[in-house]
Structure 1
Amino acid sequence: MKIVIPHGIEMVEEALALLRGAARVTVLPDNSEATLRAEISDANAILMGAKPKLDRSLIESASGLKHIARLGLGVDNIDLQAATEQGVFVTNNPGLTADSVAEFTMALLLGLAKNIPRCDRVVKEGRWEDRSEMIRDNVELSSKTHGIVGLGKIGGRVAVRCKAFGMRVLYFKRNRAPDLERSIGVEYTPFETLIRESDSISLHAPLTAETTNLFDRPQFEAMKRTAFLINQSRGKVVNEGSLIRALRERRIGGYATDVYEDEPPDPKSELFRFKNVVVAPHVGGVTRESRVRGHLAVAAEVIKALRGGIPKNVVNGEVLEGFKV
């Protein structure tokens, strides 16, 4: 049995030891498609991050592949249809990074509301007189309304934290969550209403055809001019061109993100010139604790699949129809 780990994925030693006890583990030395194609040809499992892209031709070239295991949540870089046709399990790792992402969402929200990155630069660069600008711009979160798009494991945890800050919390998702409405005190509202009424909005929906460009020019025009938008979903959920236009025209209060249309983003992008934009290098779900939890969980499920079992969190459920234990 052979397990492939793409270049750039740094597995914790405990998880690597588990995998090496069950199969031959190949860690790719570079991120070229040629290397990936050569090594995946006789692989039985591959661990995946947000990159590389695993398209149909790569999946079909790996005749012995049984399991594609995503270390995170999003699977938009994997051709699910091709994997299903080949009888390959595709799994993700929901919940294990939910607390980390929820905490990071609040950090981004606070970064915007309290201008923390700007405050840091003012002190370090000896521009103490600029503090008056932050005094005018800083806002409180208490009694404000926060809107959550996608109330899953992450969105639910964000809701709990926002409620602890004294915020009213609205949410939108395809299926209502009455249990969370009762237990947390969140309010379901149509998407358009959430956009109009929220003082801040955080995005936690997966990237699909339906959510691509979910926030475009009409949504920015409907937002409060003081509202903050935090993207913890995928870069393409927000139309970057429309976002830049909205920031340029001061149609929104600010934007914070950990994800981008293209990663890594162009450091010369106009997006990074705005003072009311807070950015991070796609690290929201990465902490020491979440890495250990996530990597050990994925390793255990990969081993289960290689031994003929059904792993947890299968994304392409159709593949189970012809599967017998």
Structure 2
Amino acid sequence: MNKKNILLLETVAEDAMSILEEASDMNILTGFDETSVTSQIQNYSIDAIITRGKGQVRDSFMAQLPNLKVISRCGVGLDNIDVSSATKRGIKVVNAPNSNADTIAEHTIALLLMLQRNLYDAVTMVKENRWQDRGSYVGDETHGKTLGIIGMGNIGKKVAKIASALGMNIIYWSSKKEDVPYTFVDLDTLLKTSDSISLHLPLTSKTENLIDKAAFSKMKTNALLINTARGGIIDQKELLQALENKKIAGFAADVLVEEPPAKNDPLMQLKNVLITAHLGSLTKTTYTKMCTMTVKNTLAILRNEAPMENCVFNKKELDNS
């Protein structure tokens, strides 16, 4: 039996690794650094690549793998894969659609509440034995405020549902009007009227730096901006200017253009900024789900079986997102 060769560019969840190891018709290879990748592609004909968020799969890499049939990412975003080149080469690109919607929605709301209620400072105050400083505490509630959601996909819908339960008024702008009980508005209206704005878009040529100097100029001075999508959707230079010049009141994110940020990044020094280390999907439940889903679909394709619906992502979908 000729085994298919699957190259792992990063580790995967334990349950997913067990599925791979039990696949007797597959040969599992690891390439966690440049040296090991070079060695593996010199010694084996690679049929599939599985990565998470760091392993880069660009056209020059694909060109070295003439038998490559599948590139799989244990996650949703595909920033680290050249989808256009893969499509032209007839290589299927697999992701784990909707696998992280619940956890990213929860993380978004958590960041919003922390920022709105100034919870980070409130907790730090007690940990530093500054109970007496409670008199200078400033925070507010979300109830009754307007949340503007940019991108009403799976995650945007879940964020809207939770925020609505908290008593927020939901408006949204997306590439198309969705069948949801929320008000669809144009982007300018959303920017001008929202008390908080949450981003839920893929990073494409159309969305890169969507939140730019002009966008910040339209926001309320008390507006909070939340980004759990992709760092590149926001112009980071203009974000810093907007925060320093008090054009907006605060920023919270799980994603940045540069990850990790530079040690001297001035954005990290601002009190009205909360950043988590791109870990919104790294709950045990979601991480396992993303990895096992991706592995099972990769194996199905290599075995000429039908993978789950909507797991194969192509260039046309990227252009229309």
User: Matches of residues 52-131 of structure 1 in structure 2 within 5 Å?
Assistant: 52-131=55-134
* TM norm structure 2: 0.92
Give the aligned partner of residue 168 of structure 1.
169
**CA apart distance, 1:35:** 3.2
Give the residue type in structure 1 aligned to 2:266.
E
CA–CA distance in structure 2, aligned partners of residues 101 and 305 of structure 1: 28
- Say whether the 8 Å CA contact 2:83–2:315 is kept in structure 1: no
CA–CA distance in structure 1, aligned partners of residues 316 and 170 of structure 2: 35
CA–CA distance in structure 1, aligned partners of residues 126 and 68 of structure 2: 54
- Say whether the 8 Å CA contact 1:49–1:71 is kept in structure 2: yes
Give the aligned partner of residue 202 of structure 2.
206
**Over residues 192-245 of structure 1, what are the superposed CA-to-partner deviations in whole Å (9 max), with x where a residue is unaligned?**
100000000100100000100011111111100011000111111111110001
Range 292-301 or range 162-171, more displaced: 292-301
- Say whether the 8 Å CA contact 1:74–1:206 is kept in structure 2: yes
CA–CA distance in structure 1, aligned partners of residues 133 and 251 of structure 2: 21
Give the aligned partner of residue 21 of structure 1.
22
- Check 1:31–1:120 CA distance in 2 against 1; reply closer, same or farther (3 A cut): farther
2:9 is aligned with 1:2: no
Give the residue type in structure 1 aligned to 2:171.
L
- Say whether the 8 Å CA contact 1:94–1:153 is kept in structure 2: no
Give the aligned partner of residue 217 of structure 1.
213
**Over residues 233-292 of structure 1, what are the superposed CA-to-partner deviations in whole Å (9 max), with x where a residue is unaligned?**
111111111000111001101000001111111132100111111110001122111122
Identity %: 35
User: Matches of residues 253-292 of structure 1 in structure 2 within 5 Å?
Assistant: 253-292=249-288
1:31 to 27, 30, 33: 33
1:192 to 150, 169, 188: 188
DSSP 3-state at the match of 1:61? coil
**CA apart distance, 1:31:** 3.2
Give the aligned partner of residue 150 of structure 2.
149
Give the aligned partner of residue 296 of structure 1.
292
**Structure 2: runs of 5+ lacking an equivalent:** none
Range 307-316 or range 231-240, more displaced: 307-316
CA–CA distance in structure 2, aligned partners of residues 173 and 21 of structure 1: 43
Give the aligned partner of residue 50 of structure 1.
53
User: Stretches of 4+ moved more than 6 A in 1?
Assistant: none
Give the aligned partner of residue 313 of structure 2.
315
Matched positions, count: 308
Range 147-156 or range 50-59, more displaced: 50-59
- Say whether the 8 Å CA contact 2:76–2:99 is kept in structure 1: no
**CA apart distance, 1:164:** 0.3
DSSP 3-state at the match of 1:24? strand
DSSP 3-state at the match of 2:77? coil
**Structure 1: runs of 5+ lacking an equivalent:** 320-325
* TM norm structure 1: 0.90
Give the residue type in structure 2 aligned to 1:169.
I
- Say whether the 8 Å CA contact 2:196–2:223 is kept in structure 1: yes
**CA apart distance, 1:132:** 2.6
Give the aligned partner of residue 227 of structure 1.
223
- Check 1:129–1:5 CA distance in 2 against 1; reply closer, same or farther (3 A cut): same
**CA apart distance, 1:318:** 6.5
